[in-house]
Amino acid sequence: MKTTLEFDIQELASQVAIQVGKAIKPILDQYPLREDRLYDVQELAEYLSVSTQWIYERVQLKEILYIKVGRLLRFKKSDIDCWLDTLKVPPMDSPLQRSQITP
Report, as ranges of residue numbers, the positions in the chain whose pLDDT lies below 70: 1-7, 31-35, 94-103
State the DSSP H helix or E strand holding residue 74, giving kind and residue range, or none if neither: strand 72-76
What residues contact residue 33 under an 8 Å CB cut-off, 6+ apart? none
Number of CB atoms found within 10 A of residue 43's CB: 15
Please answer whether residues 64 and 55 qualify as being in contact, where contact means their C-beta atoms are separated by less than 8 angstroms.
Answer: yes
Per-residue model confidence (pLDDT) at position 38: 94
Instruction: Give CA–CA dist 11/80, Å, rounded.
Output: 42
CA terminus-to-terminus distance, the chain: 88
**Following DSSP, what letter does each residue of 27-46 receive, concatenated?**
HHHTS-----PEE-HHHHHH
